[in-house]
Structure 1
Amino acid sequence: MQFTSVTFDLDGTLVDSLPDLSAACQRMLQELGLPSRSLDEIGRFVGEGMAVLVERCLTFAAPPDAALLARGIAAFRHHYALTNGTLTRCYPGVEEALQAWQATGIAMAVVTNKPEAFTLQLLEKLALTPFFPVVVGGDTTPQRKPHPAPLLHACAAMERAVAGNLHIGDSRHDIATARNAGCAVYAVPYGYHGDEPLRADECDALVADIATALRLAQLPAR
């Protein structure tokens, strides 16, 4: 089909943000007097939004109580605001691929579970803001992915029908979001999707990277 818009997940799809997320988590844990977490552990915790990341970091023998979780979220917000974009880098070829996507004239947006303020901060630091007139964060709508609301909100903001949208992400939450919204979904095999690799039969296509996704989508340059 001819796609009229494309939505990209951010962390694990366009950028490797794990070093900054890990640094903020470690500083949060240190501030709270709790044991540190490994980079691999934190990588498995990423993908469902800030509150879930913090809760998983604070879950040792048992989940944190409400008071500890609130302290953890506040501490993480403080530390991540200082680290966001410091060590985060685009995956190889992302900038060039986004330029190629943009050259087709297709409407483009970011749809992520990262809070909107942190998303805008990171896009600005990595010089990705010009690619995305529409940005939907994990707190832009009342629900976050895999609920369809963020993706539907992005399509409405782009003034495009969701049926003509292609969503590209790195996790089963991205796949579920697209399925719930009623649009096509391509998945990349890298990123943050837990211990079980994504399979081609779970999505419309498993692509090596977002440049490959563009070739598969067969969008001509303007």
Structure 2
Amino acid sequence: MMIDMLSFDLDGTLVDTAGEITLAVNRTLADFDRAPRSQPEIEKLIGNGAHALMRRLLRRLDADGELDVARVLAGFDRHYEDTAGTLGQPYADCRDTLQSLRDAGVKLACVTNKEWRHARRVLEANGLAEYFELVIGGDTLPRKKPDASVLRHVLSAFGVNPAHAAHVGDSETDLAAARNAGVAAWAVPWGYNAGRPIAAAVPERLFQSLPEIAQLVRALHAASAFSS
């Protein structure tokens, strides 16, 4: 099996962004005289995009509907423009892994449910943007992960057969997106996934480090070359 294309989730897969997201959330809540929330609570809401996170949080904090949701979302956008890319840290060996995959001829995409402008800022701030030929945000296409159309769009853009592609993420949403599009569903265990262990969702591969991904891909390439 050759892997010609890999797509990666962003938050909780390549970069730990929970701190900067929590900071933006709490600055927004302060604007509306609401108490701050803990980072562990916010981590459990990460995965479907910033606006989805805020809407879910508001359903908990504003059951009476006193707040103007549009104003809250606009406020969050302003604050996240300031915090995105400021506190996040790439996970260990992230850049080296992406470089190794590129050197092996693998086409790389970042596919996240985070709004595109925020995703781009995080990638650039952490020195990762240069590795990706394509970045898909949650607002890039009519639908977002786990809809099959998202990864199918990436496959079409690269001209890659699903049998030669994989998606790497930290959540059940990522695994569902991969399976819906017919690509290999790979996972890492250090992300968010609403606080649930991703192993319980039975990914096809569960990597304990990012370099393991490049090692596997290179081994698959070598085996394919030998057999041919």
TM-score by length of 1: 0.93
Query: Does the aligned pair in 2 maintain the 1:135–1:154 contact within 8 Å?
Result: no
- Contact 1:97 1:210 (C-alpha < 8 Å) held by counterparts: yes
Query: What SS does the aligned partner of 2:87 have?
Result: coil
The aligned amino acid for 2:207 is V
Q: Indicate yes or no: 2:24 matched with 1:14.
A: no
CA contact (8 A) 2:43 2:195 kept: no
Q: How far is the alpha carbon of 1:64 from its aligned partner?
A: 7.0
* 1-structure distance, mates of 2:45, 2:81: 19
Aligned residue pairs total 221
Q: CA RMSD in A?
A: 1.8
Which one-letter code corresponds to 1:98 in the other structure?
Answer: L
Task: Write the letter of the residue equivalent to 1:214.
Answer: A
Identity, % of aligned positions: 36
Q: Which amino acid aligns with 1:44?
A: K
Pair 1:179–1:18, CA change in 2 (3 A): same
Give the Å deviation of 1:183.
Answer: 0.7
Q: Which residue of 2 aligns with 1:171?
A: 171
Measure the CA separation in 2 of the matches of 1:113 and 1:201: 19
- 8 A Cα contact 1:58 1:64, kept in partner: no
- Evaluate the alpha carbon distance shift between residue 144 and residue 129 of structure 1 in structure 2; reply closer, same or farther with a 3 A threshold: same
Gap regions ≥5 residues in structure 1 = none
- Give the partner amino acid of 1:190: W
Partner secondary structure for residue 95 of structure 1:
helix
Pairing 1:97–2:92 present: no
Bigger Rg, which one: 2
| Matched ranges for 1:18-37 at <5 A | 18-37=18-37
**What residue in structure 2 maps to residue 51 of structure 1?**
51
Structure 1 pair 105/21, CA: closer, same or farther in 2 (3 Å)?
A: same
Offset from partner CA, 1:153-175 (integer Å, 9 cap, x none): 12222222233211000000000
Q: Which residue of 1 aligns with 2:144?
A: 144
User: In structure 1, what residue type is equivalent to 2:126?
Assistant: L
**CA separation in 2, counterparts of 1:64 and 1:179?**
39
Given that residues 3 and 221 in structure 2 are in contact (C-alpha distance below 8 angstroms), is that contact kept between their aligned partners in structure 1?
no
Per the alignment, do residues 84 and 201 of structure 1 end up closer, same or farther by CA in structure 2, a change over 3 Å counting? closer
Query: What is the rounded CA distance, in whole Å, between the counterparts of 1:171 and 1:158 in structure 2?
Result: 24
- Any idea what SS the aligned residue of 1:45 has? coil
On the 8 A contact 1:97/1:211 being kept in 2, the answer is yes
The within-5 A match list for 1:55-74 is: 55-60=55-60, 63=63, 65=65, 68-74=68-74
The residue type paired with residue 120 of structure 2 is L
Q: C-alpha offsets along residues 1-56 of structure 1, whole Å, 9 cap, x if unaligned?
A: 21110000000000001111000000010011112111110000100112211012
**Partner AA of 2:161 in structure 1:** A
Is this contact kept in 1: 2:155–2:162, CA < 8 A? yes
Q: Deviations over 1:90-111 (max 9, x none)?
A: 0111111111111101111000
Q: Distance in 1 between matches of 2:2 and 2:77?
A: 40
Provide the rounded CA distance (Å) in 2 between the counterparts of 1:178 and 1:46.
18
Residues 212 and 28 of structure 1: CA distance in aligned 2, closer, same or farther (over 3 Å): same
Q: Greater CA deviation, 67-76 or 188-197?
A: 67-76
Which residue number corresponds to residue 153 of structure 1? 153
- In structure 2, do the counterparts of structure 1 residues 63 and 6 end up closer, same or farther at CA, with 3 Å as the change threshold? farther
TM-score, length-scaled by structure 2: 0.91
In the alignment, structure 2 segments of 5+ residues that lack a partner are: 223-228
